[in-house]
Each structure stands twice: as structure tokens, then as C-alpha cells.
Amino acid sequence: MNSTDLSVLKTTVDWLKHGHQVALATVVQTWGSAPRPVGSWLAIREDGQVMGSVSGGCVEDDLIRRVQSEIMTLDTPEMVVYGVTQQEAARFGLPCGGTLRLLVEPKPELHVLEEILHSITHHQMTSRTVTLSSGKSLLTPGDRNDAFVCDDVIMKTTYGPRWRMVIIGAGQLSLYTADFALASDFEVIVIDPREEYAEGIDRENIQFIKGMPDDVLLELGVDSHTAVVALTHDPKLDDMALMEALKSPAFYVGALGSRVNTQKRKDRLLEFDVTREEVERLHGPVGMSIGALTPPEIAVSILAEVIAVKYGAPIPPKK
């Protein structure tokens, strides 16, 4: 779940707890050029307050009006479609004649949303199946490969924790990498036990942990939404962390170093409790091959490779 939709979830739970009536709109289908992906959320309070977005601002005003005047009086979800014709697309500002299909729930269940939030907080995947004829939801364990489903009977959505990047080392390259990761909507954690970095990275939105990286990774509980990037260039710190990361479900594990040093690192790891299959998961030299030389350029290459792995995109061979 990205940070925007997580904010919508937290706000919706808070509004419902304080006795407000809230309608929850979900993007269930798009055609053409749509600014918000399937599964995106918008919460609308009875007084017109909103959190989130379903179109980047194109249809929100009209949707708020319809929710307040019609949909909030209903007991079951309502399907709302925008941009069916070119004229409507132009009227609502949908780019390239795009079409937007939304499912609006006038009475989302507070206890269900609280359970989803609890699961996300504890880095668990949860699927919610909404029966359209009743508006009732059923929660089941989810998988990151679950597909979004919406037909005439149900809507099924899978929610997971935010994508997270754990950076080993608090040097200059780590700072640039953290900045680009934050801009890419990753939760960022930096780990470094060294005294010279004891003050950590002085950023409110970056969690700095002073401790041995391997121990901290075990405490954090690395999941399939976590990338681990080792950037200290110190085998005593990087290798121990990589041992734990490669045995974990982390979707990406990378380490700074030349081709020669990367092979030496892989050979060292094989001498410990790491299998060859696990070692081959290591991305090294870390980052996509774009000719990067400076710390910010290398940080860009790292994020490019992490994002490619996240979405299953092909990675060009490294020169």
C-alpha cells in the first residue's frame, strides 16, 4: 500500500471512530489515460471533507456532490462511472478520453478497516472481499501476487505494508539513496553502529537505528515488501547483514562493490550458512548500469534497479 492510500485508511478509521459518516470510493477499472491506478482510495466525509484521490482532481467535486446527495443514503455499494463519452471525458477533464469506474461504499465497516490497518502495521498481507449486494466484507490472508477483482458480485482487494528500504550504512551515498527512496514512496530505515555516525541522519522521515545491521534486520522482520541495500563498503558490517537479508523474503538485496569484490563477497558468503541459490539473489555491483559516477548518480542507479525488480521489469546486463 502506498503512503497516500495508507493515509486514507488511517483517516477513515479516525473519522468513523469519531462518529462521522464516511463513504469510501475505490478505483475499480480504468480505460485510456487514468492518473490513479486500480485500487486507489478516496474517503468522503458527510460534510464534504476528503482524503485521497481517484482521478487527480478531475471528478472529485462531482463525486462529492453525488455522495452527499445520493449515495450516503444507501445501504449498499454503488458503482459510479465517469467519462463514458468523449463529451463527458472533456467535461470531467479526463486525459485522452479516459474512463473511470468507481465503487463507492456508503457504510464501510470500521472493525474491518481497523483489522486491515493492524495487519499493515505488522507487515502482513490481507485480502478484503466485499459482497456488492450487502456491502459486507470478509478478510482472508493475502499474497502480493493476488490480482484485483471486481465484477457484478464482489470486489476483492489485497492490502500489504508499505514498500520499505533498509540501508546499511549512513554515509553520503546512503543519504542520497534515502532521499530518492523517499521520493519513490518507500519507508526508509538506515542502520549503522559506527560512532562517527552516531548522530545518524537528521531527517524526520528517515528512521535511523544505531546497532549491528544483522541483529537489527532480525528485529525488524524483513518481509517481501523490503529491499536491503548494503552501502558501508565494510565487509564486517555488510556481509553479516547480507547473510540475514539473503535468507529473508526481501524482494531485493544489493551491495556496493566492484565486480571483483562482489565475487569475493559471494565466495565468502558461501562459507557460511548461505546457499548458492540465496547468494545468487545478490545484486552486485549494486545499481543499474547507467554509467553513474557521483554519489547522487549511483543513488539514481540503485533506485532504478530496485524499482525494476519491484515491478518485475528486465534489468540490462551490467558492463
Instruction: Round to whole Å and give the CA distance between 187 and 227.
Output: 10
Q: State the pLDDT at residue 301.
A: 96
Domain boundaries, the chain: 3-159, 164-311
Q: State the pLDDT at residue 30.
A: 80
As given in the structure block, the three cell numbers for residue 308 are 525494476
Q: What is the pLDDT along the chain (319 residues), one digit of tens a residue?
A: 777 788 999 999 999 999 999 999 999 988 665 567 888 899 999 999 999 988 766 688 889 999 999 999 999 999 998 875 566 656 665 555 567 889 999 999 999 999 999 998 888 889 999 999 999 999 999 887 788 999 999 999 999 888 999 999 999 999 999 999 999 989 999 999 988 876 767 777 899 999 999 999 999 989 888 999 999 988 889 999 999 999 999 999 999 999 999 999 999 999 988 999 999 999 999 999 999 999 999 999 999 999 999 989 999 888 7
| HEC string for the chain | CCHHHHHHHHHHHHHHHCCCCEEEEEEEEEECCCCCCCCCEEEEECCCCEEECCCCCCCHHHHHHHHHHCHHHCCCCEEEEECCCHHHHHHHCCHHHCEEEEEEECCCCHHHHHHHHHHHHCCCCEEEEEECCCCCEEEEECCCCCCCEECCCEEEEEECCCCEEEEECCCHHHHHHHHHHHHCCCEEEEECCCHHHCCCCCCCCEEEECCCHHHHHHHHCCCCCEEEEECCCCHHHHHHHHHHHHHCCCCEEEECCCHHHHHHHHHHHHCCCCCHHHHCCEECCCCCCCCCCCHHHHHHHHHHHHHHHHHCCCCCCCC
Q: What is the value of pTM for the model shown?
A: 0.74
Q: State the pLDDT at residue 94.
A: 58
Q: State the pLDDT at residue 272.
A: 87
Name the class of domain 164-311.
alpha beta
Q: State the pLDDT at residue 317.
A: 83
Asked if 185 contacts 63 with a C-beta cutoff of 8 angstroms, the reply is: no
